[in-house]
Amino acid sequence: MTLSRRHLMTGAAALAGSAALPGPAAAQDRANVGMILIGPVGDFGWSHMHDQGRRRMLEVLGDRVTSNLVESVAPPDFDRVATQLIRTGARLIFTTSFSYFAPTQRLAPRHPNVFFENATGPATLPNMAVYNARFYEGRYVQGVIAARKSRSKQIGYVATFPVPEVIHAINTVMRGAWSVDPSMRIRVVWVNAWSNPGREAEAARALIDQGCDVLCSHTDGPAPLQLAEQRGIHGFGQASDMTRFAPNAHLTSSVNSWGDYYAARARAVLEGNWQASDTWGGLGSGMFSLAPFTNMTPEQASEAERIRDALANGTLHAFDGPIIRQDGTPVIPAGQRLTDDQIRAMNYFYQGIDVAMP
Amino acid sequence: MLLLEAILLTVIVASTPLLLAAIGELVVERSGVLNLGVEGMMIMGAAVGIVAAITTGSSALGVAAAVAAGMAMAAIFGALTLGLAANQVAAGLALSIFGIGLSGVVGAGSVGVPREGIGQIALPLLSDIPFIGHVLFRQDPFVYASFALVAGVSWFLWRTRAGLVLRACGENPASAHALGYLVLRIRFLAVLFGGACAGLAGAYLSLVMTPFWSSGMTAGRGWIALAIVVFASWLPWRAALGAYLFGGVTILQLHAQGAGVPLPTQLLAALPYLITILVLVLIMALRRGGGGGPQSLGTPFVPDR
C-alpha cells in the first residue's frame, strides 16, 4: 500500500513538474542545466575539462543558471541518472561521452521539453544537438613538432581504443610528421583504457625502450609525459596544459575548453532560440587550443605557430587528398578532401604506417 | 641499456604494487579472514599518500600517511567483520566501493598537482654485479621493501611460534581459542597488516610509478592482488612468482604491441589473465585438486564465553 502510494505521488509530482515546464521556444529567466560525466571530475582529463566548462558557464551567466553534475556514470545507469536530472528540473542536459550517444538518442524523444547535447555523437534530433572539437588539428601540429624534435625518427603513441577518433588522430600525427620528414615512423601501444595511469606509464616505458623519443598520448593523464621527462625525451600533454608535469619534456598540450560553448548554449535556452545543431569546432573556434610551445628553438616554435594558424584559418587542411590506405587502396585522389562523415568513420591507417590495426 | 635489462626493470616496477598488496592479503587470509577490500585500501593509500606528500613536502611522510590510511580502512573492516561478525565478502566489497569513492573526495584538491617521484637508490656493492645488480639493486625503496616482506612473511609464518598461531586461527579458530589464544585479536592484527601493505602498494602508485593523483588510479590492481593470493596457494614465494609472472606478461604484451607483433591487441591484453589462469589450473592438476587454502577462510568466528 505504502509502495503504491509512493509511486502515485512521484507520478503526480512528475506530472505537475512537466505541466510547469514551458515549451521549447519560450524565453525564460532561469534555467537548470544538467551534466553527465563518463569519468570522475578528478581525472584531470576529459571529464575534468567538461566540469571546468560547466564552471565557466556558471561564471558567465551568473544566477540565471543553476547546474547539477553527475560524475562517473556508466552507460547502463544513464537513463536513470538523466531521468532524475529531468525530474529535478533540468532544461538542458550535456551528456559528455560518445558512449552516451545512443542512450541520449533514445531518451530525447520521450522528453520533448528538454534539450539534450551529446559530445561527440554523429547525429541530431529536434531536441538533441551534438558537439565535438577537431582535436586532429592539434595532432597535425604535434606531428610537425615531433618530426623536428626526434633524433631516432620514431614517434611513440600511447593509444586507447581503436575507434575512429583515435585512428584518425594517429593518421594525422603522421601526416604532420611526413610533411617535415617522410622517413618518420610510429609505434603504437593500445592500453585499452581511457584512464589507467600505471598502464599508461608502462606503455610509455615500452615505447621509449624500443627507441621512440617523442611520445604522443591519447589517454587523459600526464603519466606518459612524466615518463618522457624522467627519461629525457619529449612528449605532448592531453586535455589540459601539462607543462608543469614535465618542464623539460613538454612540447605543447591540446587544451580542451568547452566553457564558451556551454555558456552560449545555455544562453540560447534562456533566450528561447536553442536549435539542434551539429558543432565540430576547430582550432579557430576556441573549443580547444594548444598550450604555449615549450622546449623548442625559436624557429621550431614559429614553424609550429605558423602551422597552427594555417589550420585555424583553413588554409591548411589535415585531410586533403591523396589519401591511400595502408594496403594501397586509394581513398581520395589529390585535390579532394575527406568529408566530416568520412573522417568520423575512419577505420584504416594510411599507407606508410606499419602498425597492424587491432 | 640492453633491451632485456630495460624490460626486466619495467616488469619489476609493474609487479611491485601487486606483490606488496598480495603479500599483505596473504597474511590476512592465512589468519582466516577474507578481505575483498584490497582495492579500496590501496586507492585510499594512493590518495592519502600523495595528498600528505604534497601538503608536507615530504615523501616519507606521504608513505607513512598512506600506510596509516590503509590500516584505518582495514580497521573499519576489522570492526565490522571481527567485532560484529558481519559477512566478510559483503563487508570487503563495501570497503572497496567506499574506498574508491572516499579517495576521490580526499584527492579532489590535488588533481593536476605535479610532484617529484621517489627515486632509485643503488645498493652499494650489490648494484655493481653485472646485469642482476642493475636489475634488482638499482631500484626504489619500495622494491627492496617488497623483497624484505616476502622473505619476512615467509619466515614469520613458518619459522616462528606467532606465525604458527596465526595460521592456526585460519585453520581451526575454535582449537586456537580453546588453547587460550585470542583469535579475534590475532585476526585483527593480521587485517591491519594487510591494510598497511595495501596502503603501501597505493603509495607506490601515486608516489613512484606515476607521481600524481588521478581518481580511480589503482584501476583494478587490488583485485589482481587478490587473485595472486589464490594463484600462490597462500605461499609467499609463490605470490612473488605470481606477481612477477603477471607483471612480466603485461609488459611483454605492451612491448609486443610496440614492436608491431601482428596479433589482436585485445588478445594480447587478455594474455596476463589467461596465463595466470593456465598456471593456476596446472598447479591444481599437479596437486590433484585441493587449493591449500586455510580451512576456515571467510568464516566468522564468535568465541563462546
Distances (CA, A) of B27 to A13, B31, B92, B143, B230: 54, 6, 16, 19, 12
The DSSP bridge partners found for residue A32 are A66, A90
A269 and A210 housed in the same domain:
no
For B212, the grid coordinates are 600524481
Alpha-carbon gap, residue A8 to A178, rounded angstroms: 65
> Taking a C-beta distance cutoff of 8 angstroms, is the pair A129, A279 a contact?
yes
A324 and A205 housed in the same domain:
yes
In a domain, residue A349? The reply is no
Alpha-carbon gap, residue B166 to B156, rounded angstroms: 10
Note if the bond before A322 is cis, omega within 30 degrees. Answer: yes
B247, closest residue in chain A (CA to CA)? A202
Question: Mean of the per-residue pLDDT values for chain A?
Answer: 90
Q: Which amino acid is at A139?
A: R
pLDDT at residue number B277:
82
Alpha-carbon gap, residue A237 to A55, rounded angstroms: 22
CB contact residues (below 8 A), chain A span 188-247, against chain B: 188-193, 195-203, 205-207, 209-210, 212, 221-223, 226, 230, 240, 244-245
Angle in degrees, CA B21, B27, B29, rounded to 5:
95
Residues 6+ apart with CB under 8 A from A26: A272
**Interface touch A197/B219, C-beta < 8 Å:** yes
Eight-class DSSP state of B2: -
In a domain, residue A294? The reply is no
B105, closest residue in chain A (CA to CA)? A42
Residue B266 contacts A, CB cutoff 8 Å: yes
Residue B112 contacts A, CB cutoff 8 Å: yes
A156, closest residue in chain B (CA to CA)? B258
A276 and A147 housed in the same domain:
no
**Interface touch A197/B7, C-beta < 8 Å:** no
For A351, the grid coordinates are 599507407
> Taking a C-beta distance cutoff of 8 angstroms, is the pair B194, B24 a contact?
yes
What is the average pLDDT across B13-29? 96
pLDDT at residue number A336:
93
For B156, the grid coordinates are 614469520
pLDDT at residue number B31:
96
B-interface mutation test, from A210, A243, A253, A256, most B Cβ less than 10 A away: A210
The DSSP bridge partners found for residue A325 are A350
Q: What is the CA radius of gyration of chain B?
A: 19
Which residue in B3, B108, B251 is closest to A42 by CB distance?
B108
In chain B, what are the domain boundaries? 3-120+137-286
- Which tens digit of pLDDT belongs to each residue from B121-177? 888 888 888 888 888 888 899 999 999 999 999 999 999 999 999 999 999 999 999
Eight-class DSSP state of A189: E
In a domain, residue A308? The reply is no
To the nearest whole Å, the CA of A43 is away from the closest chain B CA by 5
Cβ pairs bridging A and B (under 8 Å): 128
3-state secondary structure A97-130: CHHHHHHHHHHHHHCCCCEEEECCCCCCECCEEE
Residue indicated by cell numbers 561527440: A120
A199 and A336 housed in the same domain:
yes
CA-wise closest residue to B198 among B92, B60, B114: B92
Alpha-carbon gap, residue A53 to A219, rounded angstroms: 20
In a domain, residue A59? The reply is yes
pLDDT at residue number B303:
84
3-state secondary structure B63-83: HHHHHHHHHHHHHHHHHHHHH
Which residue in B3, B210, B257 is closest to A201 by CB distance?
B210
**Interface touch B258/A48, C-beta < 8 Å:** no
Distances (CA, A) of B75 to A238, B33, B91, B187, B192: 39, 13, 12, 11, 6
pLDDT at residue number A25:
56
Alpha-carbon gap, residue B177 to B173, rounded angstroms: 6
A237 and A141 housed in the same domain:
yes
User: What fold, for B3-120+137-286?
Assistant: ABC transporter involved in vitamin B12 uptake, BtuC (1.10.3470)
User: Which regions of chain A are under pLDDT 70?
Assistant: 1-25
pLDDT at residue number A257:
93
Q: What is the dihedral of CA B82, B86, B87, B89, to 10 degrees?
A: -60
**Interface touch A198/B269, C-beta < 8 Å:** no
In a domain, residue A1? The reply is no
**Interface touch B262/A156, C-beta < 8 Å:** no
A188 and A44 housed in the same domain:
no
Which residue in A41, A195, A355 is closest to B260 by CB distance?
A355
Which class for B241: exposed (0-12), middle (13-18), buried (19 or more C-beta within 10 A)? middle
Residue B257 contacts A, CB cutoff 8 Å: yes
To the nearest whole Å, the CA of B44 is away from the closest chain A CA by 14
Sign of CA dihedral A191, A195, A198, A204: positive
ipTM comes to 0.87
A115 and A142 housed in the same domain:
no
For B71, the grid coordinates are 590500516
In a domain, residue A351? The reply is no
Alpha-carbon gap, residue A60 to A264, rounded angstroms: 9
pLDDT at residue number A351:
93
Eight-class DSSP state of B181: -
Q: How many other C-beta atoms are found inside a 10 Å radius of the C-beta of residue A313?
A: 11
Which residue in A156, A197, A355 is closest to B214 by CB distance?
A197
**Interface touch B212/A196, C-beta < 8 Å:** no
**B212: chain A residues, CB-CB within 8 Å:** 44, 197, 221-223, 226, 245
> Taking a C-beta distance cutoff of 8 angstroms, is the pair B42, B218 a contact?
yes
Q: What CATH number did the domain enclosing A123 receive?
A: 3.40.50.2300
**A356: chain B residues, CB-CB within 8 Å:** 260, 262
Alpha-carbon gap, residue B223 to B238, rounded angstroms: 17
Sign of CA dihedral A190, A192, A196, A198: negative
B251, closest residue in chain A (CA to CA)? A202
Alpha-carbon gap, residue B237 to B150, rounded angstroms: 7
Alpha-carbon gap, residue B229 to B224, rounded angstroms: 9
A211 and A340 housed in the same domain:
yes
A67 and A117 housed in the same domain:
yes
A-interface mutation test, from B265, B266, B271, B273, most A Cβ less than 10 A away: B265
To the nearest whole Å, the CA of A204 is away from the closest chain B CA by 9
pLDDT at residue number A21:
46
**B269: chain A residues, CB-CB within 8 Å:** 190, 192
A186 and A168 housed in the same domain:
yes
For B231, the grid coordinates are 594463484
**B46: chain A residues, CB-CB within 8 Å:** none
**Interface touch A245/B114, C-beta < 8 Å:** yes
A101 and A120 housed in the same domain:
yes
A215 and A279 housed in the same domain:
no
CB contact residues (below 8 A), chain B span 34-93, against chain A: none
In a domain, residue A6? The reply is no
Residue B167 CB-half CA count within 13 A: 16
To the nearest whole Å, the CA of B258 is away from the closest chain A CA by 5
Which residue in B221, B255, B266 is closest to A210 by CB distance?
B255
**B254: chain A residues, CB-CB within 8 Å:** 189, 191, 202-203, 206
- Which structural domain range is residue A237 located in? 136-256+319-344
The DSSP bridge partners found for residue A129 are A117
The number of folded domains in chain A is 2
CB contact residues (below 8 A), chain B span 6-35, against chain A: 6-7, 10, 13-14, 17
| Backbone dihedral angles phi then psi of residue A222, each to the nearest 5 degrees | -85, 10
Buried b vs exposed e over A225-234: b needs ≥16 C-beta within 10 Å?
A: bbbbbbeebb
Q: Which amino acid is at A195?
A: S
**B209: chain A residues, CB-CB within 8 Å:** 197-198, 201
Question: Mean of the per-residue pLDDT values for chain B?
Answer: 91
CB contact residues (below 8 A), chain A span 36-55, against chain B: 39-45, 48
In a domain, residue A33? The reply is yes
